[in-house]
Every structure is written in structure tokens, then in C-alpha cells.
């Protein structure tokens, strides 16, 4: 079946265009000939300047000032777009003083605003970027069963354990599917795991801190949890794939590798022996397994982990986040 949009001047919108994943998505969409509307908080802010340097950006990229809670701004950005990629979501670092206001409301109300705007614009397909945070926090899921797209994080468990990012992502993604059930919009969601890889944006994002801190901070001890990893370029390609493949339906978990933190740390130490590595690890009960088989069946492929690590480290060094060995 032919992929739609290839080589055509199709107009699409990407929310939160200046972010880690969204920047790569914008770059790839422009390379494929799409006309891209990108929402950012301030089009003139230098942290969004990298978007204007992409191939085909001068003629095919338009940035719109719009916040997720700014319905009118979103309407202006999404007007005339046949496809919408809702990527924007707040990911605060550390603890949140008021999770209802700082995280849950922007994620849930923001998603609602985007989808209502998509209805108004008569968008043909909407891709909502969720997270494995909306999949994995489910104590009722059988431990010997691999988590797939049928598994949803338990809202009560997220509240009790104060996993507010998971709660926000779970509610927002669930709400998106309510629109789909009513037949109002053609919605597909992508749930990436911990995203690493080359940053195009000038400021460091929270998911990149995982790898950076393991090379830089010299932790005395870390919990030996399972880490599910995926390259940012592979995520952007997955998001495009589910948009362009008419047969794509429902949710898609997007993850490439799973390994214990200690195994990951040993791999980093083998590749970069002179950095400040973690000294010890404490064992924890963390046996959740994830499958991206559904996405791979659609045609998705991912790059080797070593490539992602090397490209990440080179990028951190070039940006001054990490000293060269």
C-alpha cells in the first residue's frame, strides 16, 4: 500500500515544535516535502532558531505562537492542515509543587484543545505522542506477561505513588481515544520509551539527562532498574510512519532496547572508560517487559544502540554539556 503524503505538498502541524522529538519530526517532514506549521511559545526565541535552519524551512516552515492552553492560537496554527502531530507536553524536572496545575491540566486540557481544533480544521489524521508512562504503571498486569498496547497505567496507582507525569499521559491518551471512539477523528498514538540521541534544540531535555548523568555525575549508587531505550530519530520516523500508513490503528509502543541500568552503565564504561561512572547498584524488583512488535509489523526499524550512544555523546561534547575524554 502506498504511503500517503510522499512527495506531495501536504500541510501538517506539529505542536511543541522546538522540543527534542518534535524538532527531529519537523526536520524529517520538511525533508519529505511537507509544509509544516509548528507551534512554539515564542517564534522569536533563539531556542527555536534551529528550526529555521532545516532544509526546506525557509519556504515550507511557518512557526505560530501558541500555548497548549491557548485555543485561539492553536486554531490559527492548525487551520488548513490535513494532519496534526500533537507532540507538546510539559515534562518538569524534579518534583512538582502543584501537579494538577503544572502537569495534569496542561497535558489533558491541552490535548483536548488540540483535538477540538483538529475537529474544527477537519484534519484527516491526528498522531498523539503519548509515552510508555501511560503503559507501564500497572501493578495488576501479570508479571510474566510482556506489556503491549492493551496495557494501560492504573490511574489510582499513579495517584498513590505520585507518578503525575504517568497520570497526565494516561488521562490525555485515554481522552484522545474517546474522540476516536465517537468517530470524530482518525487518531493514532505513539508511546515512546526513554528517548536518547542527538539533540537539535539548544537546551538539554529531561530524557537526555539519563545518559548524560550516567557519564558525568559519578553516582555513588543507582537502583538497578530496567531501562527501555529508543533513539529520537527512530521515534520521529515511527510518528511519520503511523501517520502515512492508512492501515495504522490504535496505539503503538515505540521502544528498541531493554536492559538493566548496571548493564547499560557497563556498556558506557566500556565505550568511554574515562568518564565519571556509577560506583554501585542496588537491586530492585523491576521486571516489566515491553513489546514494540505491533510497530515493527507496520514496517518500523530501529538503529543499533551503540550508534545512538556514540551520536549522543558526540552531541553532548560539541554542545559543551560533556567534556571530551
φ, ψ of residue 221 in degrees (nearest 5) = -155, 145
pLDDT value at residue 3: 43
Query: What is residue 259's three-state secondary structure?
Result: strand
φ, ψ of residue 96 in degrees (nearest 5) = -115, 125
Q: pLDDT tens digits, residue range 3-42?
A: 444 445 899 999 999 999 999 999 999 999 999 999 999 9
Q: pLDDT tens digits, residue range 155-185?
A: 999 999 999 999 999 999 999 999 999 988 9
Cβ burial, residue 166 (10 Å; 0-12/13-18/19+): buried
pLDDT value at residue 45: 94
pLDDT value at residue 195: 97
pLDDT at 239 over 60: yes
CA angle 298, 286, 272 (to 5 degrees): 80
Ordered by where they begin, the domains of the chain are 11-196+229-256+288-302 (3.40.50.720)
- Residue 104 corresponds to which cell in the numbers above? 495534569
Active site residues: 169
Check: CB of residue 208 under 8 Å from CB of residue 312: yes
pLDDT value at residue 286: 77
Q: Which band of pLDDT confidence, cut at 50, 70 and 90, is reported for residue 95?
A: low
Mean pLDDT over the full length of the chain? 93
Q: pLDDT tens digits, residue range 263-309?
A: 999 999 999 999 999 999 999 887 688 999 999 999 999 999 999 99
pLDDT value at residue 1: 31
Number of neighbours of residue 314 by Cβ within 10 angstroms: 13
Entry pTM: 0.94
Query: What is residue 14's three-state secondary structure?
Result: strand
Q: Which band of pLDDT confidence, cut at 50, 70 and 90, is reported for residue 105?
A: confident
pLDDT value at residue 94: 59
Within 8 A by CB and 6+ apart from 263, the residues are: none
Cα torsion through 47, 48, 54, 57, rounded to 10: -160
Supply the DSSP string of 169-206, one letter for each residue. HHHHHHHHHHHHHTTS--EEEEEE-EEES---SSSPPT
Amino acid at each position: 500500500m502506498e504511503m500517503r503524503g510522499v512527495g506531495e505538498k501536504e500541510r501538517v502541524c506539529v505542536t511543541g515544535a522546538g522540543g527534542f522529538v518534535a524538532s527531529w519530526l519537523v526536520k524529517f517532514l520538511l525533508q519529505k516535502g511537507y509544509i509544516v506549521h509548528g507551534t512554539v511559545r515564542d517564534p522569536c526565541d533563539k531556542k527555536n532558531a534551529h528550526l529555521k535552519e532545516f532544509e526546506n524551512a525557509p519556504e515550507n516552515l511557518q512557526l505560530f505562537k501558541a500555548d497548549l492552553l491557548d485555543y485561539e492560537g492553536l486554531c490559527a496554527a492548525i487551520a488548513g492542515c490535513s494532519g496534526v502531530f500533537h507532540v507538546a507536553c510539559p515534562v518538569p524536572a524534579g518534583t512538582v509543587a502543584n501537579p494538577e496545575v503544572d502537569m495534569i491540566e496542561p497535558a489533558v486540557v491541552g490535548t483536548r484543545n488540540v483535538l477540538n481544533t483538529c475537529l474544527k480544521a477537519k484534519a484527516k489524521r491526528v498522531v498523539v505522542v503519548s509515552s510508555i508512562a501511560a503503559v507501564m504503571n500497572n501493578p495488576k498486569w501479570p508479571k510474566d506477561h510482556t506489556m503491549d498496547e492493551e496495557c494501560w497505567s492504573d490511574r489510582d496507582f499513579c495517584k498513590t505513588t505520585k507518578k503525575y507525569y504517568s497520570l497526565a499521559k494516561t488521562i490525555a491518551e485515554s481522552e484522545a481515544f474517546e474522540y476516536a471512539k465517537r468517530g470524530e477523528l482518525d487518531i493514532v498514538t505513539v508511546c515512546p520509551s526513554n528517548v536518547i540521541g542527538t539533540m537539535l534544540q539548544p537546551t538539554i531535555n529531561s530524557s537526555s539527562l539519563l545518559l548524560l548523568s550516567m557519564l558525568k555525575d559519578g553516582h555513588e549508587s543507582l537502583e538497578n532498574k530496567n531501562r527501555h531505550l529508543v533513539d529520537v530519530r527512530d521515534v520521529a520516523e515511527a510518528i511519520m510512519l503511523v501517520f502515512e500508513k492508512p492501515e495504522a490503528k490504535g496505539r503503538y509502543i515505540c521502544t528498541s532496547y531493554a536492559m538493566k541500568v548496571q548493564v547499560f552503565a557497563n556498556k558506557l564504561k566500556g565505550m568511554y572508560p574515562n568518564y565519571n561512572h556509577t560506583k554501585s547498584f542496588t537491586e530492585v524488583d523491576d521486571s516489566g517487559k515491553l513489546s514494540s512488535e505491533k510497530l515493527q509489523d507496520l514496517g518500523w526499524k530501529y538503529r543499533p544502540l551503540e550508534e545512538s550512544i556514540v551520536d549522543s555523546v558526540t552531541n553532548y561534547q560539541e554542545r559543551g554539556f560533556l567534556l571530551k575524554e
